[in-house]
Chain A
Amino acid sequence: MNSLQLKMGRALIYGLLITFALLYLGPLYVMLVTSLKDIEEIRGGNILALPEHLNFSAWSKAWSSACTGTDCEGLAPYFWNSVRIVIPAVLISTLIGAFNGYVLAQWQFKGSNMLFGALLFGCFIPFQVILLPMAKLLAILGLANTVTGLVAVHVVYGVTFTTLFFRNYYVAIPNELVRAARLDGAPFFTIFWRIFLPMSTPIIVVTVIWQFTQIWNDFLFGVVYSGPGTQPITVALNNLVNTSVGGKQYNVDMAAAIIAALPTLFVYFVAGKYFVRGLTAGAVKG
């Protein structure tokens, strides 16, 4: 292969990679520039054009003073509601998933594969189906319209995924490890804490990213199972964006949308590297 061909090949690769990068950035770019324009400019202008003057008023309005219904406190209180829901839900579902994966991969018993299959099928239930029976169940448990109830729902439906991730990760680890440890008399949990957990960082990262994204972005459970005062940010965003009366403020809508997406974006930017690394370490080797 001569060097000219090589150079053209590289140019092609870079060209394609950059083209796609620009296409992928398109929607975010549109949202960002729109959030910085004033309403007149949005009405008259091109959606790709840069704002004439940088105008951050839409951002502060979206964060602290935009009205939804009779509350005019912006997204801020809902943001913290989301945080209060996401953190316990992610931690609990990840922990349970790790234990489940450990059992399903390393402590197999008769029917454990069947169980795993049944759990996997569970991932596919359209969530709209479970809204009403779950509401009834939460009421029976006394958790209707509480944060605890909402967290429980996220944990129950998140555990299928976290179990899947951990099981596929641990299944690649030779069974002899557990056997040897058991011969030495190490109990079940000691083997987990001492041997498996320390080598689980990559898959924990993948699982946490996945769960964080899913739960932070959830609207359906959030709107149905939260109570007044505990609604997550997606519900507030929906209330802000999904109305059409009284002169729509697209800049505020867009700023609010970006604010709502910031935590997940942040997680991807910071932990994206570990994400691929975690996947490499075995999560995808179905």
Chain B
Amino acid sequence: MFKYLETHLPKLVLAPTVIAMLVCMYGFIAWTAGLSFTKSRMLPQWEFVGLDQYARLFSNPRWQVALDNLFIFVFLFILVSLVLGLLLAIFLDQKVRAEGALRTIYLYPMAISFVVTGTAWKWILNPGLGIEKLVRDFGFTDFEFRWLVEQDMAIYTIVIAAVWQSSGFVMAMFLAGLRGVDDNLVKAAQIDGASKIQTYWHIILPMMKPVFFGAIVVLAHIAIKSFDLVQALTGGGPGYASDLPANFMYTFAFSRAQMGLGAASAMIMLCGVLAILVPYLYSELRTKRS
């Protein structure tokens, strides 16, 4: 009996998590999937209508906008955060003074939610109050920065604020990675006459591959769940030009009494997540362990 317990202890330890996961994640996903095939309006009603909600979803112009925005947002947000985070990390790794203070400054946005910073960001990006007005006050009267109020540019302001929030975290991840690089490798390369840029490009960056992967997963996770950001900054506007799928889903499920449609949009989002995650998991779990 004791023996049995001892050999199965690892599984027993995992059991509560596995049960919670099965119920609260996969159970609820299944529930949502079921809901997406019903005509549910204000609250769940189990009257099935097949793929109707999906057909409605894809004929809804607002969903198309949200989906297009998601692609723009995910791509730019991940790219810019990676580049900026990496650059800051490399610069910080040059034995600069006040590294601790600078690092904290880059990291702090991660600590605050957009419920808190939303208003400040709105002011900064607003042409009549923020950057545009300030630069014009300096004498550059033709200066324009009005993405927040332009229908086809508003989504880029969401990218800016999101990068501000998350790039510090990416910086920390890269900085940690760089600190793990063996100094002798760098010295050897420099003795061979490689310039600093060459050393980074050819030797250090390739070693950062796992960090890139880790950062992409974290960023993708943030990007797909981005909700507060849009709510606080643009409210989805002008019109619904800066809507993201998470906002679409929330609006339709909870304030528009179209729960079936909201559930269908959530299922499409989850399928998108699978597409990102499967390649990562494949490489992660195959190479890591026998």
Contacts and interface: CB of A to CB of B under 8 A. Distances in A.
Interface range on chain A (Cβ under 8 Å from partner): 35 or more
Nearest to A113: B285
B213 interface: yes
Contacts of B213: 286
B121 A276 contact: no
B175 interface: yes
A285 interface: yes
Contacts of A187: 6, 9
Contacts, number: 246
Contacts of B250: 128
A39 interface: no
Given A17-B91, A99-B13, A279-B176, A27 B24 contact: no
B88 to A, nearest CB: 6
A103 interface: yes
Interface string B1-29: 00000100111011011101101111111
Interface of B: 6, 9-11, 13-14, 16-18, 20-21, 23-29, 31-32, 43-44, 87-88, 91-92, 94, 96, 100, 102-113, 115-121, 123-124, 129-130, 133-134, 137, 164, 168, 172-173, 175-177, 179-180, 210-211, 213-215, 217, 221, 224-225, 227-228, 246, 249-250, 253-254, 263, 266, 269-270, 273-274, 277, 281, 284-285, 288-289
B112 A130 contact: no
A239 to B, nearest CB: 11
6 contacts: A31-B119, A121-B273, A121-B277, A125-B29, A128-B254, A286-B210
Q: Please give me the 3 A-B residue pairs with the lowest Cβ-Cβ distance, nearest first.
A: A279-B176, A217-B113, A107-B10
A103 B225 contact: no
B117 A257 contact: yes
Nearest to A103: B10
A108 B157 CA distance: 45
A16 B106 CA distance: 13
Nearest to B173: A284
Most chain B CB inside 10 Å of its own CB: which residue of A121, A264, A276: A276
Contacts of B273: 121, 124
Given A14-B96, A133-B28, A276 B103 contact: yes
A234 B254 CA distance: 20
B281 A280 contact: no
Contacts of A109: 10-11
B266 A126 contact: yes
A132 interface: yes
A196 interface: no
In terms of DSSP, what is the predominant structure of the interface of chain B? helix
Contact of A129 (B14, B32, B228): B32
Given A17-B88, A272-B104, A237 B6 contact: no
Contacts of B172: 275-276, 279
Contact of A237 (B16, B115, B285): B115
Given A156-B20, A188-B9, A17 B96 contact: yes
Contacts of B94: 10, 13
Interface string A260-286: 110011011100110111111101111
Interface string A112-142: 1101111111111111111111100100000
Contacts of B108: 24, 28, 265, 268-269
A159 B210 CA distance: 22
A21 interface: yes
A27 B28 contact: no
A126 B113 CA distance: 17
A285 B249 contact: no
B111 A254 contact: no
Most chain A CB inside 10 Å of its own CB: which residue of B91, B115, B168, B250: B115
Most chain B CB inside 10 Å of its own CB: which residue of A100, A163, A238: A100
Contacts of A57: none
Given A278-B176, A285-B211, 19 more contacts: A13-B91, A26-B124, A28-B120, A109-B11, A119-B21, A121-B273, A122-B21, A124-B273, A126-B266, A137-B24, A213-B110, A213-B111, A237-B116, A257-B115, A258-B116, A265-B112, A269-B104, A276-B179, A280-B179
